Structure 1
Amino acid sequence: MNLELTRQKITDLGVCVIIPTYNNQHTLKRVINGVLELTNNLIVVNDGSTDTTSSILKAYPNIQQVHFPENKGKGVALREGFKHAISLGYKFAITIDSDGQHFPNDIPHFINELEQNQAKDILIIGARNMSHESVPGKSSFGNKFSNFWFWVETGIKLQDTQSGFRLYPLNVLKKLNFYTTKFEFEIEVIVKTAWKDVEVKNIPIQVLYDESERVSHFRPFKDFTRISILNTWLVFLTAIYYFPKRLLKIIKKKGLKRFLIEDLLGSNDSPKKKALSIALGTFIGFSPLWGFHTFLVITLAVFLKLNKAIAFAFSNVSLPPFIPFIIFASLELGQWVLGEKISYSIEEMTTDFEALKHLKTYLVGSFTLATIGALVFGFTGFVFFSFFNKKNMALKND
């Protein structure tokens, strides 16, 4: 590794290193010295440490320092570090933890990856070898949990979403709004960055968990609960906003005809999987779960590993112009299933609908309609896609 060349690249690319720290007196100095071998573009954020951190930092008067009078959380420390880096004119920030688990000599790998992707914004996360004998079991489980939800929320599969060793594009971050303050911030920031169509990728890094000197401030119950609440909210936003927005963007870019041919008809999914996706979307669309259709169909499509685009498209059988007809069909079916006769008018259906009076009939009829619709649309889709696949194979063989 050519140190002078690396130092020059860091300067030319407008990169700084941010170290958030809280009571890591045993490892902080080693991490700082390791970074300074590569660059002086260093910002340390002392998050209200009560150990000897302040004394240690007094030995480094030439580096940028931010001190909090009391502990505010890693999320706040990182956000303040980003704000400070932006004010100093940096374009990118590499964050590295102060507990000694990361190796500063991995920084050149981030710089080389950034150099190869200068034409676009990119967020790089150092992927730890989670099978390493020093990695605690709870960290490995938490990482798998986080990776899964990140995929649900963005469609991007990563090996490691929890590593704090990262490179951030500051010009993107300064346009985003963040609300979390603790460890969950590192999830919020990568999800929202990915939603801005920024490439998020992993590169391999070294890792060391030395329990004799490492101090972890992760509180399993409290922080896991906060992360779970955040993921619930992000999945909800994904279903009602991000995924529909992304889908509409694709349709607008390709045009409806090309989208249908390439993304629906031309999908590599089997006719059975496409048909089940249609059935799911139709069932949810006809169901009485108004206000939750998009959230439910996307969430279920993800968990059932079905085609999200097809399921979402067919859930729109309940678009506003069709609602009176759906309610009418539900009431008629409900009467037939229950063997009763009720009296209602078109005016009631489009205004108050006498919801409480006819609720039982409507709910029974609605789920009956949803089941029938799912079977009919799903079977029709299966026949259509099977025929379409055979036709495509025949054309390829010719």
Structure 2
Amino acid sequence: MADMFRLLVVIPLYNHGRTVRKVVERALAIHADLLVVDDGSSDGGADTLSGLAVEIVRHEVNFGKGVAILTGAREARKRGMTHIATIDADGQHNPADLPGLVQVSRKNPLAIVVGKRNFEQAEVPRSSRFGRNFSNFWLRLQTGVSLGDTQSGFRIYPLMVLEKLSLNEKRFSFEIEVLVKGAWAGASLREAEISVHYPPQGERISHFHRLRDNLRLSLLNTHLTMRSVLPWPHRKIIIENGKKEAISVLRPIRSLRTLLTENTTPGQLAAAGALGVFLGAVPLIAFHTLAVLFAAGFLRLNKVAAVSASQLCMPPIVPALCIEAGYFMRHGEFLTEISLRTLGYQGLERLYEWFLGSLVVGPILAVTVGLFIYLLALMVRKERHAQG
């Protein structure tokens, strides 16, 4: 049977003339199919590769690393490849680590595989450590997916995923955008351990502009975070078979059957429901859905289940219970007068009591609903197993 996994190693090059030849030589020792994309270099780095069995594609001007990667992907498709591996030209990555990424990619052919750099080394700059942790946080917030090194440029991309994603970033921020949009589109994100080498400070060459590129990343993360909390679904490029039914608290059994087909466990559904109910009880007027989506995404819980459960806290019953509980906590008695004075002129006091009461009513309702969902989901799962 023909091998359905065909890989082209792509090395984006921009003014790394001192290091690129050694990187290419080491890469060729591991993998024969290799392409260098010279992204408008002005130091003649591509000329240092003479005599090596490597193809070179040149950009007349510097378009950015993201454009260079997409150029490599197009060239890979022309050559009948299915995947590309990207390795930085600055010597930071060791091409000998490529087989580890390939092994993960073969097992998960539609996954983006990222090399997780070993930072347990004294020479790693503090800025790199902070930047990685900060970037990892944003990915988890925006997608619910945890990766150990979202800033690593040593990766394997499936061409099908790159070709179907709508990608706008052209420079370093491309590598963040592709992870977030890939996860939204249904592609899994995997990682493999790799080594890393940072030259001494005086020899280090980086084209990352701290002000300009950090501004681009900040704007991108703001955009992606806002998009992640909007209720509209993301366009999927990897779609499971079968039409899914709508989720509704009015049809709990049917909704749980649907959610349990999405690799979601009863415990995860219960946690999502409890989170939705707890936040639904808190007086986040006009922001309940946004808060639930943010929290569910960060905790990697099912957003649909959390938002659906939060609808149980719609007025008037749950807010009234919270206000009564808060009033009792403040005055030692329940609020019995419903008038313009108590609900209008004293509105801010009722809002404060709603908040106080939600700290008691919210957890009680969350535990109750979570336990109910868990038991119901177990029952539905047993029923499904018995049927098939």
Instruction: Give the TM interval when normalised to the shorter protein.
Output: 0.7 to 0.9
Instruction: Give the alignment partner of residue 193 of structure 1, picking from 182, 198, 204.
Output: 182
Distance in 1, matches of 2:26 and 2:79, equals 22
Q: Which residue of 1 aligns with 2:99?
A: 108
The change in CA–CA distance for 1:379 and 1:97 in structure 2 (over 3 A counts) is same
Distance in 2, matches of 1:228 and 1:278, equals 32
> Per-residue deviation at 1:20?
0.4
Are 1:37 and 2:32 an aligned pair?
no
The change in CA–CA distance for 1:244 and 1:44 in structure 2 (over 3 A counts) is closer
Q: Which residue of 2 aligns with 1:138?
A: 127
Contact 2:275/2:296 (CA < 8 Å) preserved in 1? no
Are 1:89 and 2:80 an aligned pair?
yes
Give matches, 1:237-276, under 5 Å: 237-241=227-231, 255-258=254-257, 266-267=266-267, 275=274
Give matches, 1:58-77, under 5 Å: 59-60=50-51, 63-77=54-68
CA RMSD in angstroms comes to 4.2
The change in CA–CA distance for 1:229 and 1:257 in structure 2 (over 3 A counts) is same
Distance in 2, matches of 1:22 and 1:238, equals 33
Alpha-carbon displacement from aligned partner over 1:258-285 (angstroms, at most 9, x marks no partner): 36899999426998x965641313446x
> Per-residue deviation at 1:224?
2.0
Distance in 2, matches of 1:82 and 1:303, equals 32
Distance in 2, matches of 1:391 and 1:256, equals 11
Q: Which residue of 1 aligns with 2:250?
A: none
Instruction: Give the alignment partner of residue 229 of structure 1, picking from 219, 225, 234.
Output: 219
Distance in 2, matches of 1:29 and 1:242, equals 47
Q: Which residue of 2 aligns with 1:382?
A: 367
- The count of corresponding residues between Structure 1 and Structure 2 is 346
Are 1:165 and 2:154 an aligned pair?
yes
Q: Which residue of 2 aligns with 1:280?
A: 279
Taking structure 2 as the reference length, the TM-score comes to: 0.73
Of stretches 98-107 and 151-160 in structure 1, the one that deviates more from structure 2 is 151-160
The change in CA–CA distance for 1:336 and 1:87 in structure 2 (over 3 A counts) is farther
Alpha-carbon displacement from aligned partner over 1:265-321 (angstroms, at most 9, x marks no partner): 9426998x965641313446xx553xx6533322245568988555422444699xx
Contact 1:278/1:374 (CA < 8 Å) preserved in 2? no
Local SS of the residue matching 2:85 = strand
Q: Which residue of 1 aligns with 2:112?
A: 123
> Per-residue deviation at 1:219?
1.8
Partner AA of 1:382 in structure 2: V
Q: Which residue of 2 aligns with 1:329?
A: none
Say which structure is richer in helix.
Answer: 1
The change in CA–CA distance for 1:124 and 1:205 in structure 2 (over 3 A counts) is same
Local SS of the residue matching 1:114 = helix
Partner AA of 1:38 in structure 2: I
Q: Which runs of 5+ in 1 are unaligned?
A: 1-8, 327-332, 342-360, 393-398
Alpha-carbon displacement from aligned partner over 1:19-52 (angstroms, at most 9, x marks no partner): 0011111110001111222333111111111112
Contact 1:100/1:214 (CA < 8 Å) preserved in 2? no
> Per-residue deviation at 1:54?
3.6
Q: Which residue of 2 aligns with 1:26?
A: 18
The change in CA–CA distance for 1:390 and 1:210 in structure 2 (over 3 A counts) is same
Local SS of the residue matching 2:171 = coil
Contact 2:282/2:362 (CA < 8 Å) preserved in 1? no
The change in CA–CA distance for 1:293 and 1:386 in structure 2 (over 3 A counts) is closer
Contact 1:24/1:214 (CA < 8 Å) preserved in 2? no
Q: Which runs of 5+ in 2 are unaligned?
A: 237-242, 248-252, 320-337, 378-388
Local SS of the residue matching 1:267 = helix
Distance in 1, matches of 2:260 and 2:46, equals 62
Contact 1:24/1:215 (CA < 8 Å) preserved in 2? yes
Taking structure 1 as the reference length, the TM-score comes to: 0.71
Instruction: Give the alignment partner of residue 48 of structure 1, picking from 40, 43, 65.
Output: 40
